[in-house]
Amino acid sequence: MWLDVYENVNELTKQEQLALFKALKNDLFPDEPDKITKLLKQIRESRFSSGMACVHCGSTAIKRNGKYKSRQRYLCKDCNKTFNDMTNTPFSGSRYPEKWVKYMEMMVEGYTLPKIAKRLKIHISTAFYWRHKILNALRSLDFEQLFGIVESDETFFRESMKGRKVTHRKAKKRSTKDKKRGISDLKIAVVVAQDRNHNIIALKAGTGRVRAEEIDAVIGRYIHPTSVLCTDTATNYKKFAKIKGYHHETINERQKQRVKKGIYHVQNVNNFHSRLKTWMDRFQGVATKYLDNYLYWFRWLEIDKHLSFEKQVEQMLISACQKSNNTTVQMLRSA
């Protein structure tokens, strides 16, 4: 049936064929251009939620200054610079606005760089820079404070020097096993803390066994003083609780204690660890310097996982553009 129509298309002029193609495309994918327009409106409203202000100097002396490539442009009367809704976002200066939404969909899916590059027909290094521009922007939104019962525990990742010269030890082949077993200095400790309202913090805390001071340095300021810290019986957490003056409930897992007083346990945080590890496997070792970006990414997906896929994509895109961020390719290269 469709073949008959297709054959008749040849009788149309080039212009008519193009018009037909556009009509079909709009019928089949009606929301594509609308999606960007709708998102732009949401981005603007979230970014300038307390009023229009210059993204360069913060001045509120702003006037609309015509359109450039169909985007509204603004002029700051104080610093004389212009900007648009996307200036200083991960996508400013991007030559492919039609690929933003697609890119975000793949962030939510957790696609690897080769897969993204292939799907979007962009260079793998472009895919890499977008990923870290987006993750840096998301991270600038920081973590929420944790309240009430706060479970915490650390997990370990093998140190990876991907994309950097190895200076402090001999480079080793990927397949050789670590000589030191268990928690060696080559392993990066990641501290995870989570309250019962699904607020999660995950941050890299140093190499090898993590000290109380290191735990404090990375998560201390995010845990409200009135919280009840809930951990295993490790001494580093006992000391951390003491430093901060938290009420501390310890779970002795070696003695097969799982839940104390019916409510205190570290199962949520341990389940988070195992989901995190499974998710990270696909990247086959993440450069240690980017580990916090990946941790934030996974945490983001965890917190939003109850939302529909489309909502997750929208949220991530709007949030990545919420604050002025100016990660440049140069910055990522020299990091």
Give the helix ranges, DSSP H, for 150-290: 212-219, 235-244, 267-281
- The residues in 180-199 that bind Zn ion, with binding defined as CB under 5 A, are none
Q: Which stretch binds Zn ion (CB under 5 A): 23-31, 53-61, 133-141, 322-330?
A: 53-61
- The residues in 300-319 that bind Zn ion, with binding defined as CB under 5 A, are none
Compute the least distance from the CB of residue 65 to Zn ion, in Å. 12
Contact pick of 39, 43, 47, 54 for Zn ion (by CB under 5 A) = 54
Q: Does 53 bind Zn ion (CB under 5 A)?
A: no
Nearest CB to Zn ion, comparing residues 57 and 263: 57
Q: Does 59 bind Zn ion (CB under 5 A)?
A: yes
Nearest CB to Zn ion, comparing residues 63 and 306: 63
Nearest CB to Zn ion, comparing residues 81 and 119: 81
DSSP 284-323: SS--GGGHHHHHHHHHHHHHTTTS-HHHHHHHHHHHHTSS
Contact 118, 290 (CB under 8 A): no
- CB neighbour burial string for 240-276, b if at least 16 within 10 angstroms, e if fewer: bbeebebebbbbeeeeeeeeeeeebbbebbbebbeeb
Q: How far is CA 125 from the centre of its chain?
A: 18
Contact pick of 35, 44, 56, 239 for Zn ion (by CB under 5 A) = 56
Contact 64, 79 (CB under 8 A): no
Q: Which stretch binds Zn ion (CB under 5 A): 59-67, 125-133, 162-170, 284-292?
A: 59-67
How far is residue 255's CA from residue 247's CA, in Å, rounded to a whole number? 22
Q: Does 238 bind Zn ion (CB under 5 A)?
A: no
Helix 309-320 and helix 32-47: axis angle, to 10°? 50
Q: Does 79 bind Zn ion (CB under 5 A)?
A: yes
Q: Does 57 bind Zn ion (CB under 5 A)?
A: yes
Helix 291-303 and helix 267-281: axis angle, to 10°? 120
Nearest CB to Zn ion, comparing residues 56 and 119: 56
Nearest CB to Zn ion, comparing residues 80 and 274: 80
Nearest CB to Zn ion, comparing residues 45 and 78: 78
Nearest CB to Zn ion, comparing residues 51 and 245: 51
Q: Which stretch binds Zn ion (CB under 5 A): 74-82, 125-133, 195-203, 263-271?
A: 74-82
- What single-letter amino acid sits at 138? L
Interface contacts to Zn ion, rule CB under 5 A? 54, 56-57, 59, 76, 78-79
